[in-house]
Structure 1
Amino acid sequence: MTETADVSKTRAWVMAARPQTLPAAASPVLVGTAVAYYGGVFEPVAALFAFIGAALIQVGTNFANDYYDAVQGADTENREGFTRVTAGGLIEPAAVKRAMILTFGLAIVSGAYLVYVAGVPILVVGLVSVACGVAYTGGPYPLGYHGLGDIFVFVFFGLVAVTGTYYVQAAALLGEPLATGLVDAPELGLAFVASLPMAAISTNILVVNNVRDREEDAETGKETLVVKFGYGFGRAEFVSMLALSYLTPVALVVGDGVPATVLLSWLSLPLAWSVTTTVLNRTDGAALNPALERVGQLLALYALLFSVGFAAPETAIGGALAAGAPAMPTPTEVR
């Protein structure tokens, strides 16, 4: 475990919030917003509130993980990962729990605007997201302790985050406030497919974490998929998630007629290859802690390139990539 001596309270709270994980919140919102622009329903205020809500849920989940892993004994002195403030004695458990409750509460408050413009469906999604953020490591059946953490991340930090971001913008422009049913969002299916790379790479952040912590998790009874099925399974999952990420843009171009500019996402492949070689060959924290950060960087880079592919006008680069592909429609043409 990282040294905890001489850490200020301010620094301890930053460590607990783990701002380095915010790409996992920002990247899906960026992609969902790019799809909204492509579909002619970009709405900046809704996009901003979607990001605020996603960031607060991410930080709240970080507080929850720090608190519940400590009180349930999952974080030990042999931990190879980054310092946890509750287990490390830097912040009182009760204070971390209060911060978790406050942060999730702020997420619900910030979501009030999104509920106003997008209606009951977003209210349900928001409350379920908060509940699962707590249930990931807390409650009577912690998802992360029973091999369900990967599914939680894939669904909520990928599918829900991207499609939800697109949907609230479409609803803000096309729907009625406080709608009780789904708004007819024309590119909702496209947003769902575009969410797959974000879901997959976000899941790989967890996979690297679980490969690194397999031995400690096995000792403390935290049955992640890597604990249940071994290092080989975790590595196969990691490679499969990357394959899904890089095949999705191809499927969008070939199957949905999306401009070939979305293939800009392939420019992130060297970084993906670099981190993959580490995951396939190492299990120690000295190697996997930096790899964990590089997967976060990969998520951000991929999201940026993918979003540019959806949202950028036909430039010289875009025109070269899109040769032979249908021209990108303007917002006016779509609407």
Structure 2
Amino acid sequence: MDNNLSSKKQAWLHAIRLRTLPLALASILMASFIAWSHELFKWDVFILAALTTTLLQILSNLANDYGDSIHGADSDDREGPIRAVQSGIIQPKEMKKAMILFGALSFICGLGLLYVSLDSWVIFFTFIGIGFLSIFAAVNYTSGTNPYGYMGLGDISVFLFFGLVGVLGTYFLHTMSFSKSLLLPAISLGFFSTSVLNINNIRDITSDQLAGKKSIPVRIGRKAAVRYNWTLIILGNLSLILFSILEENYGGLLALSVSPLMINIAYNVGKKTQSKDLDPYLKKMAISTLFWVLAFGIGLVVFS
């Protein structure tokens, strides 16, 4: 019985995918660092935004585990880590209940975030709409009758929500203002987050083909997907350089110190052909992105 309980706990931890949570927090950190450098940082906004984003990411991970198992992407042909529903340790009904729980928690936490941040009903309901879109995007990536991840639209969703929406939305809640220049660091983070998804999809290209999941690597082929990964990483760093030049604020360029790690990841993603060998680079790219954001923020706050 103890072994069964231990296995179930491990299955839930695998389903939550703790290694993805640092990437989810990156947009909150980036926006908060910029708000701090503008002397407009708010602790309550930061804490509630971080908690809401973490809950949404967990919801997305649970929905992905459930959806890929139901639609066949997590089959016996898949070479990546075994998923909770696929393994049979967690039943689909249990996963659905967990998805409802984390969906409700993220919505409640998001309401708290908006309550402490906003005093305009128009803006409040605008952000409520964004919140519902975020929950919809988290659940319907691989779940539902027409999961958009199976149509190759996951990259666009990740770019928007992990980059533009995450950074610009959090900054607005800190400051009640918006600056066009923020688009560039938000774009950087969007590119890096999309790279994490792309590496995941390169790893799963064979099983995705069998399941009819038309991810970008399935659509364009492995070689082109590797070049696409290089492009995402290069453009992400170029966006930072352009931001620094336009703002005449060069402290954030400290983030370029993390670029060698990303270049090494891109090189190895191109070199490794076995799924088991590619899997570690998902975690490495996610952590490198977090380090990039931390270096960006420290440079922005300390050296500007």
Contact conserved, 2:203 with 2:275, CA < 8 A, in 1? yes
Contact conserved, 1:56 with 1:107, CA < 8 A, in 2? yes
Contact conserved, 2:250 with 2:300, CA < 8 A, in 1? no
Alpha carbons of structure 1 residues 276 and 310: separation in structure 2 relative to 1, 3 Å:
same
| 2:204 equivalent in structure 1 | 213
Kindly provide the CA deviation profile for residues 187-230 of structure 1, in whole angstroms up to 9, marking residues without a partner as x. 43233221112111111111011111111111110010111110
| 1:238 equivalent in structure 2 | 229
Matched, 1:289 2:275: no
Contact conserved, 1:114 with 1:122, CA < 8 A, in 2? no
In structure 1, C-alpha distance between the alignment counterparts of 2:294 and 2:137, rounded to whole Å: 27
What is the identity percentage for the equivalent residue pairs of Structure 1 and Structure 2?
Answer: 31
| 2:50 equivalent in structure 1 | 51
Deviation beyond 4 Å, 4+ runs, structure 1: 4-7
**Partner letter of residue 221 of structure 1?**
G
Deviation at 1:147, TM superposition (A): 0.7
Contact conserved, 2:184 with 2:242, CA < 8 A, in 1? no
Deviation at 1:74, TM superposition (A): 1.3
Task: Give the number of the structure whose residues are more often helix, by fraction.
Answer: 2
| 1:148 equivalent in structure 2 | 153
Report SS of the residue matched to 1:75.
coil
Structure number with larger C-alpha Rg: 1
In structure 2, C-alpha distance between the alignment counterparts of 1:7 and 1:195, rounded to whole Å: 40
| 1:29 equivalent in structure 2 | 28
| 1:189 equivalent in structure 2 | 180
Kindly provide the CA deviation profile for residues 268-312 of structure 1, in whole angstroms up to 9, marking residues without a partner as x. 022112111111122312221111111111111111101112222
Aligned counterpart in structure 2 of residue 278 of structure 1, from 247, 256, 268: 268
Report SS of the residue matched to 1:141.
coil
| 1:204 equivalent in structure 2 | 195
Matched, 1:166 2:171: yes
TM-score, length-normalised on structure 1?
0.85
Contact conserved, 1:26 with 1:51, CA < 8 A, in 2? yes
Deviation at 1:71, TM superposition (A): 1.1
| 1:137 equivalent in structure 2 | 142
The alignment's C-alpha RMSD in Å is 1.6
In structure 2, C-alpha distance between the alignment counterparts of 1:138 and 1:285, rounded to whole Å: 23
TM-score, length-normalised on structure 2?
0.93
Contact conserved, 2:78 with 2:206, CA < 8 A, in 1? no
Report SS of the residue matched to 2:76.
coil
**Partner letter of residue 146 of structure 1?**
M
In structure 1, C-alpha distance between the alignment counterparts of 2:67 and 2:244, rounded to whole Å: 43
Please, which runs of 5 or more residues in structure 2 have no aligned partner?
Answer: 119-123
Contact conserved, 1:166 with 1:188, CA < 8 A, in 2? no
